[in-house]
Amino acid sequence: MSTDPFIRFRDVSKEFPRPDGSGTFLAVDRLSFEIARGEIVAVLGKTGCGKSTMFNLLAGLIEPTSGMVDVTGHDPFREFAYFRGKIGIVFQNDRLMPWRSALDNVLLGLQILDADKMEAEATARGWLTRLGLAGHESDYPHALSGGMRQRVSIARAFAVEPEILLCDEPFSSLDEMTARDLRSEFTRLVKQNGKTAVFITHHINEALEIGDRVMVFHRPARIAYEARMDQTSGEAERRNVQDRILEVLSLERSVDAPQV
Amino acid sequence: MIRNRRLRQAFQAAVSTAVLLAAWQFASYFFPHYLFPPVQAIFWRTVQIFIDIPLLIEVLATAARIFGGLFGAFLLGCVLAVVIGRSPFIESYFTPVLVFLQGIPALSWVVIAIIWFHGIEFRILFIMVMTTLPAFTFQILDAYRSMSKDLFEMTMSFRPSAWTLFRVLIVPTIVPGILTAWKVNLGNASRVVVVAELVGATGGVGYQLLLQQQLFDLAGALAWTLVLVLFVLVVQSALVAIEAWALRYRPVSERAA
Ligand SMILES: Nc1ncnc2c1ncn2[C@@H]1O[C@H](COP(=O)(O)OP(=O)(O)OP(=O)(O)O)[C@@H](O)[C@H]1O
Ligand SMILES: [Mg+2]
């Protein structure tokens, strides 16, 4: 692990215009953090706290209102072509193209990157098989179950072998057995290939299992708590961190509570 | 009860057609033939148009004018839709004009075309384009606007070139809307074309209709009308077939049958 930060957010804020035109809504509030190359960071936070918005900023899909997003010394929003093939996203919803078969959906990224046709297809088929979708290559999304669609979208992001993987609750619509298998497969893949990953989840256990580090977001998005998980961390330490996370999360206002 | 849905529909269509033909034939026994020509007379006149090469060429000329006009309006409509779609500023200038154009009747365009232009084919093309352009533009624009923001951002996350984005996302998104636009405008264009051919065309279905009117020949007029309607139906079903193929990925609810 190099000491140079790979991903850096410095005082990043994001405001959205309110739909009724009455001013703006603050979704990310002077968020700062750094992520090193090869690290897996799990992000926890209550619903609506700005986790997906942070992803969109990191992926350069939206522009920060203020502050600086820096990925390997480049601006992901401004430098559009530079990041081609470097960032892969598993979105919170599957976002499959309904007119493409499962295989063609996985091929999308590879086609955009102009990969060799034969190789691309072999890669895509390999990923579908690995995710338990062999035999469904030519199915259209509407004929797949929610969990299967989610796995196709995981395959789509992984197939391009990006340096940075952003996963927004990728396993949330899967049964626990499948999710467990994929979690260990995910960590293995990221570690083996020296990728860097940011992983949003609502499950504290999943965060602790996957993350080298866990960040808990405040609402609007700001770091409320952070803990480094070591392979050597004992059961007692884990419990401790878990309790702290629960404590921090319970201090957060719930969505329905009146805003003071 | 006929079980097969298609068979049942064909049967129902055949029944209503037969009733209509019978009523017409019945009327032909009581009225002079120049008012209600017998069904078989209309039928043979129609057949004649298809087997007599010079007459068939007139049908093809009209077909070419329909397609020429639609194609021109489609291309222009695409350009306009892209221009309008890119900027709300431009949209606020263009939309009122298109709405205004949409209100102008085909016959007014005929008069304008005759006064403005000389070439007959150009006049017809002008009329065809002007009458179908606004609808085409709005329909293409709607199709473009219906693009999913989620799919757009997902595609953008792979950072495609503008051309690749167009190919992998925009085209598949707008194809259903464009096919619908073609279906709708084909009907309009086939009605307008016969009016447009009154600008002095010396051939085509519109010209033939005018001729039959001067000859007071209703069987002929009906035969030419029938040919035009058949043409629209054939092209329409070709479009439906293309649509079914292009949209084969769409799920069909079992309840929708
Ligand atoms: N494009 C947008 N326009 C306006 N408001 C937005 C937009 N995107 C997000 N928001 C608002 O920003 C806040 C944060 O949204 P975000 O999707 O980042 O939450 P999240 O932490 O991912 O929540 P969840 O866990 O439920 O997915 C929400 O209040 C949301 O309404
Ligand atoms: Mg979210």
CA of A254 to the centre of ligand 1 (A): 14
List Cα–Cα distances, A22 to A16, A40, B13, in angstroms. 11, 39, 57
What spacing in Å lies between the alpha carbon of A28 and ligand 2's midpoint? 13
d(CA B198, CA A155): 61
Which tokens in the block code for residue A1? 């692990």
A88 CB neighbours in chain B (<8 A) are: 157
- Superfamily of domain B63-246 in CATH is MetI-like (1.10.3720.10)
Where chain B has pLDDT below 50, the residues are none
* Coil, helix or strand at residue B216: coil
Q: Which of A40, A142, A127 is nearest to A94 (CA)?
A: A142
Give me the CATH code for the A1-86+162-260 domain, please. 3.40.50.300
| pLDDT tens for each residue of A80-119 | 899 999 999 999 899 999 999 999 999 999 999 999 999 9
State the pLDDT at residue A2. 47
- pLDDT top residue among A258 and B246: B246
- pLDDT tens-digit series, residues A210-253: 899 999 998 888 898 888 887 666 788 888 888 888 888 887 66
Counting other chains too, the contacts that B231-239 makes at CB distance below 8 Å and 24 or more residues apart are B231/B59, B231/B62, B231/B63, B231/B190, B232/B186, B232/B187, B232/B190, B235/B186, B236/B183, B236/B186, B236/B187, B239/B179, B239/B182, B239/B183, B239/B186
Q: How far apart are CA A149 and CA A217, in angstroms?
A: 28
Residue A55 alpha carbon, nearest atom of ligand 1: 18
Spell out the residues 6+ positions from residue B248 whose beta carbon is closer than 8 angstroms to its own. Answer: none
- Are A36 and A2 in contact by the 8 Å Cβ rule? The answer is yes
Residue to mutate among B157, B164, B165, with most A CBs inside 10 A, is B157
Are the beta carbons of A145 and A102 closer than 8 angstroms?
Answer: no
A258, pLDDT greater than 50: no
The answer to whether the Cβ–Cβ distance between A112 and B158 falls below 8 Å is: yes
Residue A95 is classified by DSSP as -
Q: Using CA of residue A205, residue A173, residue A215, residue A74, what is the dihedral sign? A: positive
Q: Is the peptide bond before B54 cis (omega within 30 degrees of 0)?
A: no
What SS3 state is found at A167? Answer: strand
Single out the residue of A235, A94, A81 nearest to residue A168, CA to CA: A94
Tokens of A216: 């808990």
Ligand 1: centre distance to CA A176 (Å): 26
Give the pLDDT band (50/70/90) at residue A259: very low
C-alpha to C-alpha distance for A213 and A229, rounded to whole angstroms: 5
Which residues from chain B sit within 8 angstroms of residue A85, using beta carbons? 158-159
Choose among A27, A26, A45, A42: nearest CA to A250: A45
Ligand 1 atom 7 nearest Cα: A16
Q: Read off the tokens for A31.
A: 């968020």
Question: What pLDDT was estimated at residue B253?
Answer: 78
Residue B160 to residues A54, A109, A239, B24: CA-CA distances in angstroms? 22, 9, 45, 62
Neighbouring-strand partners of residue A142: none
- For residue B122, the cross-strand partners are none
pLDDT at A1 over 50: no
Q: B218 and B37 in contact (C-beta within 8 Å)?
A: yes
Phi/psi of residue A90, nearest 5 degrees? -100, 110
How many Å apart are CA A94 and CA B150, to the nearest integer?
9
Comparing C-alpha atoms, which of A165, A61, A160 is closest to residue A113? Answer: A160
CB pair distance less than 8 Å for B159 and A80: yes
Q: What's residue A68's pLDDT?
A: 94
d(CA A194, CA A223): 26
Domain boundaries in chain A? 1-86+162-260, 97-161
The residue behind tokens 């203020």 is A66
Q: Which of A12, A22, A49 most suits a substitution to test ligand 1, by most atoms within 8 Å of the C-beta?
A: A49
Task: Quote the pLDDT of residue A99.
Answer: 95
**Residues B28-73: pLDDT tens digits?**
999 998 899 999 999 999 999 999 999 999 999 999 999 999 999 9
Determine which of B151, B153, B158 to mutate to test the interface with A (most A C-beta atoms within 10 Å): B158
Residue A260: predicted pLDDT: 42
Give ligand 1 pocket residues (Cβ under 6 A): A 16, 25, 27, 45, 47-53, 92
CA–chain centroid gap for A213, Å, is 14
Q: What are phi and psi of A117, to 5 degrees?
A: -55, -50
**Strand order across the beta sheet in which A5-17 lies:** A24-36, A5-17, A66-71
Question: Which spans in chain B are helix H?
Answer: 5-30, 39-51, 53-86, 88-102, 106-116, 120-145, 149-156, 162-165, 171-196, 205-215, 218-246
Torsions phi, psi of B63, nearest 5?
A: -60, -45
Instruction: Say if the ipTM goes beyond 0.90.
Output: no
Q: Which two tokens stand for residue A36?
A: 């090193």
